[in-house]
Amino acid sequence: MELADQHRQKIETLSRGMTQKVQVIAAVLHQPDLLVIDEPFANLDPVNAQLVREIMLELRDQGKAVIMTSHQLGLVETLCDRIAMIHHGQVVLQGSVAEVRRQFARNILHLSGSGQVDYLPGVIHTERRTASDWYLTLAPDTNPQTILKAIVSNGHFTVDRFDMALPTLDEIFVQVVRRSGQSQDIV
């Protein structure tokens, strides 16, 4: 964890980030089968966050169970297999990250590539976000495979990527919070 040069320092003299790294070391030093950790990425710069992320992934790859609380949902999305959203002590949303994201999908396709996206039947809104990324909102009864066939057959667009645009956990969090009118905790 790159703290060897600080080994003689008292913990209260260390920065918040270094203190956080010491706490992570103390939590994993004895190689627990179950690790319960609260906000492991708090106060960490991107380099140190990557070190902690690697430790978490190593524990997971060793078959260890890690229960983590975090408000950094981008990290939760990449590290966790399952999530639970708790509100007033009650689980209000749970499941695998993929299941939860699919549950909140809004029938939007992400299309990446080059060329021009022409009119497509069944597409009710087209948004170009970057030079190569398009987001297509489909009518409720539109089959995404039909859209892909139409794009490929017209020859005006070379497809590099075609997938359902699933919402991020941040977007889901905001939606659930707005629906309930209260803040949530993610576990």
> Which one, of 185, 179, 172, 175, lies nearest residue 98 by Cα?
172
Name the CATH topology of 4-92.
Rossmann fold (3.40.50)
**Residue 82 to residues 73, 100, 125, 183: CA-CA distances in angstroms?**
12, 9, 32, 20
Q: What is the pLDDT of residue 185?
A: 54
Is the pLDDT at 17 greater than 60? The verdict is yes
10 Å Cβ neighbour count for 123?
Answer: 19
Show me where the domains of the chain are located.
Answer: 4-92, 106-164
**pLDDT tens, residue by residue, 18-66:** 888 888 888 888 999 999 999 998 888 898 889 989 999 999 899 999 9
Asked if 82 contacts 95 with a C-beta cutoff of 8 angstroms, the reply is: yes
- 104-146 per-position pLDDT tens digit: 888 899 999 999 888 888 999 999 999 999 999 999 899 999 9
Given a cut of 80, is residue 87 above it in pLDDT?
no
Which pLDDT score is estimated for 147?
Answer: 92
